């Protein structure tokens, strides 16, 4: 939001923001968003949440709503950066650091690289289930599919990842 559009947070929004902003950012990171694209998409998502706070605070599944919006904002920001030729090579991953130990984690980079090789729907379903610990019903809501379809996408993704690790030596398990 620009300075002229700023409005104070609605009652209860600050706690909501503190709880869900990190989840949205992890979701976007797992989707492949990086650097400015991730920041722009996450900020736009939470601005949208504030804009619709009166409805969102009563929503039966606010995380699903946020992830839908985040996916849309990610696509929009990515296209804009691509149009402006501001993107770096999407294969160049930022260093993922364990903030408690400060240790660089090669296995996480390996996993992210392989996740990027999965078809988008499989990757989405697996990330939400495996990394974000969402039930299939919520995943289905975010993806706009049936729960059984979300489960099938995640199962196919797991099988494909297992095959990738089996085909390449030295992958983390």
Q: CA 151, CA 148: separation in Å to the nearest integer?
A: 5
The residue out of 90, 114, 140 marking a domain boundary is: 90
5 found inside a domain: no
Overall domain count for the chain: 2
Domain check: are 61 and 25 in the same one? yes
1 found inside a domain: no
- Which comes out higher in pLDDT, residue 137 or 168? 137
The residue out of 73, 90, 107 marking a domain boundary is: 90
Cα separations (Å) of 92 from 31, 34, 96, 113, 117?
14, 10, 12, 9, 14
List, for residues 15-55, the tens digit of each pLDDT value: 999 999 999 998 888 787 778 888 999 999 999 999 999 99
List, as one string, the DSSP characters of 124-150.
HHHIIIIIS---HHHHHHHHTS-HHHH
Q: What's the CATH code of the domain at 135? A: 1.10.10.10
Domain check: are 52 and 121 in the same one? no
Domain check: are 73 and 107 in the same one? no
149 found inside a domain: yes
Q: What's the CATH code of the domain at 35? A: 1.10.1740
List, for residues 101-135, the tens digit of each pLDDT value: 444 456 666 777 788 888 989 988 988 888 788 88
Q: pTM for the complete prediction?
A: 0.65
| Domain that includes residue 84, residue range | 10-90
Question: Can you say whether the dihedral through the CA atoms of 111, 115, 124, 135 is positive or negative?
Answer: negative
48 found inside a domain: yes
Nearest CA to 20 among 115, 134, 154? 134
Please say if the pLDDT value at position 89 is more than 60.
no
C-alpha gyration radius of the chain: 17
Domain check: are 31 and 84 in the same one? yes
């Amino acid at each position: 939001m620009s300075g002229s559009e700023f409005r104070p947070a609605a009652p209860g929004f600050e706690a909501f923001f503190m709880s869900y902003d990190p989840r949205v950012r992890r979701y976007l990171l797992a989707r492949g968003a990086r650097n400015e694209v991730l920041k722009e998409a996450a900020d736009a998502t939470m601005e949208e949440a504030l804009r619709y706070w009166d409805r969102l605070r009563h929503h039966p599944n606010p995380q699903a709503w946020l992830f839908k919006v985040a996916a849309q904002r990610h696509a929009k920001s990515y296209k804009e950066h691509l149009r402006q030729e501001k993107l770096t090579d999407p294969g160049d991953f930022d260093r993922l650091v364990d903030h408690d130990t400060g240790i660089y984690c090669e296995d996480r980079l390996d996993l992210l690289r392989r996740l990027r090789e999965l078809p988008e729907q499989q990757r989405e379903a697996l990330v939400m289930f495996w990394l974000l610990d969402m039930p299939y019903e919520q995943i289905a809501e975010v993806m706009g599919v049936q729960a059984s379809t979300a489960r099938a996408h995640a199962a196919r993704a797991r099988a494909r990842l297992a095959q990738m690790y089996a085909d390449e030596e030295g992958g983390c398990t």
